Structure 1
């Protein structure tokens, strides 16, 4: 009797685990499919160079921060900004003032910008002065380019915010994601983009 009950319990448990595994698999496939669709137009290969217009100030007090501080004058092109961080992978973060998910990501971007080069792009969030005011109010102390009409974002294939593009030290886009990205995933992508060229350099030619 006890053996039969134990057998039925084991069978029920195995069936339950199979159902959970099937559900998780379907959920993962759906997430990957949605992310693939959202990022289908994001850049691949060489990072497109674009002219940049920087918000005049940022941060709660306008003080200079760490890597990529918004108090440092922003150059006129992405390539020039990247050249200020030689040998480093960089992140370009597209966001908008009206985007609630972007607000959830702000603490992660703030933490990331303390030791990694991060460039924000404020999509359809007003002119330079308006974006600067938002940055001061929220304490966003990293450089941000303004994109009031969304032209720059569209040229990068960004259809929705937030979006994160990671560029390796050689100017190649290694990762492009759309939607909420936790800080650990941002750091992992930057680390990988930094490491890939180093590993390739060690391979025999």
Structure 2
């Protein structure tokens, strides 16, 4: 009975390992369309009324594409908001209603990170973003250090930002 239990654990661990490898392979494959190298230009009007320009932004910087209608983005909101307290963050809300609707959503959720509105998807196209959420970490030299399409944990983003700032 002890040998069967041991082999059962080994089989379970092997299956979990295979699932993790497949998961990370799919994540990498999905992110292949995101830009690499120097960050494309990014500028826009923030919901708060100010202007944002990537060229003038503090780095390292998280550029986070999301949408109010995206269930996975909703899972990440708290992590992105917490990151914005410690790191430079700018988010781009993709096709998320009118400016007033987006403002109401951000206020209702209590989100404090900077938001640029991308009504027609022009900014997303310029950055090669074909789905949300998409997270890109820009290093001190203005290059894309990390890119991720789909769910990313807060701790994972925090580590990537820390590495990009070294």
TM-score (norm 2): 0.90
Partner residue, 1:89 = 60
Partner residue, 1:170 = 141
Specify the SS of the correspondent of 1:28: helix
- The answer to whether the 8 Å contact 1:54/1:128 transfers is no
Specify the SS of the correspondent of 1:164: strand
Specify the SS of the correspondent of 2:27: helix
Is 1:102 aligned with 2:73? Answer: yes
Q: CA deviation at 1:96?
A: 0.3
In the TM superposition, what whole-angstrom CA distance separates every residue of 1:86-144 from its partner, at most 9, and x where no partner exists? xx311011110111221121111111111211101000112433322222222222211
Is there any run of 5+ residues in structure 1 with no aligned partner, and where? 1-7, 58-70, 196-205
CA distance in 2: counterparts of 1:112 and 1:50, whole angstroms:
20
Partner residue, 1:188 = 159
Picking from 76, 79, 101, the partner of 2:55 is 79
Matched ranges for 1:123-162 at <5 A = 123-162=94-133
Q: CA RMSD in A?
A: 1.7
CA distance in 2: counterparts of 1:120 and 1:151, whole angstroms:
14
Matched ranges for 1:106-121 at <5 A = 106-121=77-92
Say which structure is richer in strand: 2
Partner residue, 1:35 = 27
- The answer to whether the 8 Å contact 1:41/1:156 transfers is no
Partner residue, 2:2 = 9
Q: CA deviation at 1:182?
A: 1.8
CA distance in 1: counterparts of 2:115 and 2:70, whole angstroms:
16
- Tell me the matched-pair count: 166
In the TM superposition, what whole-angstrom CA distance separates every residue of 1:6-57 from its partner, at most 9, and x where no partner exists? xx623x24422331232122201210221022211111111111332322x3
Larger Cα Rg: Structure 1 or Structure 2? 1
